Amino acid sequence: MSKHYPRNLKIDKMVKALRMARFFGDKTYQLKEPCNKGHLSPRSVASGLCLECAREQMTNDRHMAQPAMDEMERWKAANG
Ligand SMILES: [Zn+2]
């Protein structure tokens, strides 16, 4: 899909969007280009993952997601 894209230009745009998001203190940033799975959803500043991909990963891969969820529950119980 992206073979006609100048790769460096795309990365440069991503880096710029990421810096903007960090500057404004956002947790996510939005690009005009879809992610490599074709989602047009905001991306996490922390991981660079598009939120739709992250959500898919969470639902598809419970082995990976569950420890993180457990950790979050423990944190909430301890701090909340
Ligand atoms: Zn995605």
Is there a domain that residue 51 lies in? yes
Is there a domain that residue 1 lies in? no
> What's the confidence (pLDDT) of residue 72?
67
Instruction: State which residues form the domain around 56.
Output: 9-79
> What's the confidence (pLDDT) of residue 11?
76
> What's the confidence (pLDDT) of residue 38?
92
CA 31 to centroid of ligand 1, rounded, Å: 11
Is there a domain that residue 4 lies in? no
CA 57 to centroid of ligand 1, rounded, Å: 10
- Taking the C-alpha atoms of residue 70 and residue 72, their distance in angstroms, rounded to an integer, is 5
CA 27 to centroid of ligand 1, rounded, Å: 16
3-state secondary structure of 9: helix
Domain count, the chain: 1
Is there a domain that residue 2 lies in? no
Is there a domain that residue 48 lies in? yes
Give the pLDDT confidence of 13-33 residue by residue, as tens digits: 778 887 877 777 878 888 888
CA 80 to centroid of ligand 1, rounded, Å: 31
* Residues of the chain below pLDDT 70: 1-7, 61-69, 71-72, 80
Is there a domain that residue 3 lies in? no
Alpha helix locations (H) across the chain? 7-23, 51-60, 62-79
> What's the confidence (pLDDT) of residue 6?
61
> What's the confidence (pLDDT) of residue 67?
63
